[in-house]
């Protein structure tokens, strides 16, 4: 359950980040047109929208999502030498990046198809919120958001395809991506903070706080359990 909450946070945060990006984009073009361009050749993954291999997984969208959903929750996790957690924090991000890519593709496609409206994802104070629409589910005979969720059933295959590509990157490349995302962590939080620096009462903020607490608890519980094994 805790890992599920942490994973689902990628989906909600991706929608908020993409919605904010589109809300400040060129007003002469519709959000759907911009999404079309970003999805063509998976341009949204590349730095400067330049689809060269060395630019892959370095776009502002990927880096911001990685910072919010993975690097930030990892802050404060205990160091476990036998698990080499120092190295994991430095470059153990293959799974997290694959989730970022899949979550961003989902967010772009939801907006491209008109399943969600970016105007519904922004509050009156221009802060990010997350509102998922309901669609009629024939299996249960009523409206549900299941078909649009960032779930294993809907996006597991896509996530694994991204992982296959990320697995080809070496440690130096992964470290560089972590460094670039880490540099964005502080400024990336501004979009969900109110003027007094507190979190807003919206789905994105709640998901992030829960995910951070759950992730830290998982790390601490693992440390206690492994410590017990090493003693006995």
Q: Could you tell me the pLDDT band of residue 130, with boundaries at 50, 70 and 90?
A: low
pLDDT (0 to 100) of residue 137: 57
Q: Could you tell me the pLDDT band of residue 136, with boundaries at 50, 70 and 90?
A: low
Return the residue matching tokens 């491209």. 112
Query: Which range of residues forms the domain containing residue 220?
Result: 2-231
Beta bridge partners of 144: 135
**Tokens for 215?**
């992730």
Task: Judge whether 157 and 151 are in contact, CB under 8 Å.
Answer: no
User: For residue range 69-117, what is the model confidence (pLDDT) as tens digits?
Assistant: 888 877 777 777 777 777 777 778 999 999 999 999 999 999 999 998 8
**What angle is formed at CA 75 by the lines to CA 104 and CA 154, rounded to 5 degrees?**
25
pTM of the model as a whole: 0.74
| Residue environment code for 99-138, b if the CB has 16+ CB neighbours within 10 A, otherwise e | bbbbbbbbbbebbbeeebebeebbeeeebbbbebeeeeee
Number of domains comprising the chain: 1
- How many H helices and E strands in the chain? 10, 2
The SS3 assignment for 142 reads strand
Average pLDDT, the chain: 76
pLDDT (0 to 100) of residue 8: 81
Q: What is the mean pLDDT of residues 27-51?
A: 94
Q: What are phi and psi of 50, to 5 degrees?
A: -105, 105
User: For residue range 195-210, what is the model confidence (pLDDT) as tens digits?
Assistant: 333 333 344 444 444 4
Q: What are phi and psi of 127, to 5 degrees?
A: -105, 155
pLDDT (0 to 100) of residue 86: 73
**Tokens for 83?**
């698990």
Q: What is the DSSP string of 7-22?
A: HHHHHHHHHHHHHHHH
How many Å separate Cα 167 from the centre of its chain? 18
pLDDT (0 to 100) of residue 19: 92
User: Which residues contact residue 57 at a Cβ distance below 8 angstroms, ignoring those fewer than 6 apart?
Assistant: 45, 97, 101, 166, 169, 177
């Amino acid at each position: 359950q805790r890992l599920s909450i942490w994973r689902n946070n990628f989906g909600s945060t991706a929608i908020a980040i993409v919605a904010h990006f589109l809300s400040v984009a060129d007003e002469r073009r519709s959000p759907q047109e911009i999404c079309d361009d970003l999805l063509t050749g998976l341009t949204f993954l590349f730095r400067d929208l330049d689809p060269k291999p060395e630019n892959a997984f370095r776009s502002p969208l990927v880096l911001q999502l990685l910072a919010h959903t993975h690097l930030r929750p990892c802050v404060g996790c205990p160091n476990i030498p036998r698990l080499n957690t120092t190295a994991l924090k430095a470059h153990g991000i293959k799974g997290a990046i694959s989730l970022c890519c899949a979550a961003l593709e989902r967010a772009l496609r939801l907006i491209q198809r008109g399943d969600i409206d970016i105007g519904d994802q922004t509050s009156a104070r221009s802060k990010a919120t997350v509102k998922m629409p309901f669609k009629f589910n024939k299996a249960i005979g009523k409206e549900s958001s299941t078909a649009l969720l960032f779930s294993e059933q809907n996006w597991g295959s896509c996530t694994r395809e991204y992982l296959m590509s990320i697995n080809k990157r070496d440690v130096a490349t992964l470290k560089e991506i972590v460094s670039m995302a880490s540099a964005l962590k502080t400024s990336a939080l501004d979009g969900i903070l109110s003027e007094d620096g507190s979190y807003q009462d919206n789905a994105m903020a709640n998901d992030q706080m829960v995910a951070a607490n759950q992730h830290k608890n998982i790390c601490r519980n693992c440390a206690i359990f492994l410590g017990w094994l090493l003693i006995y």
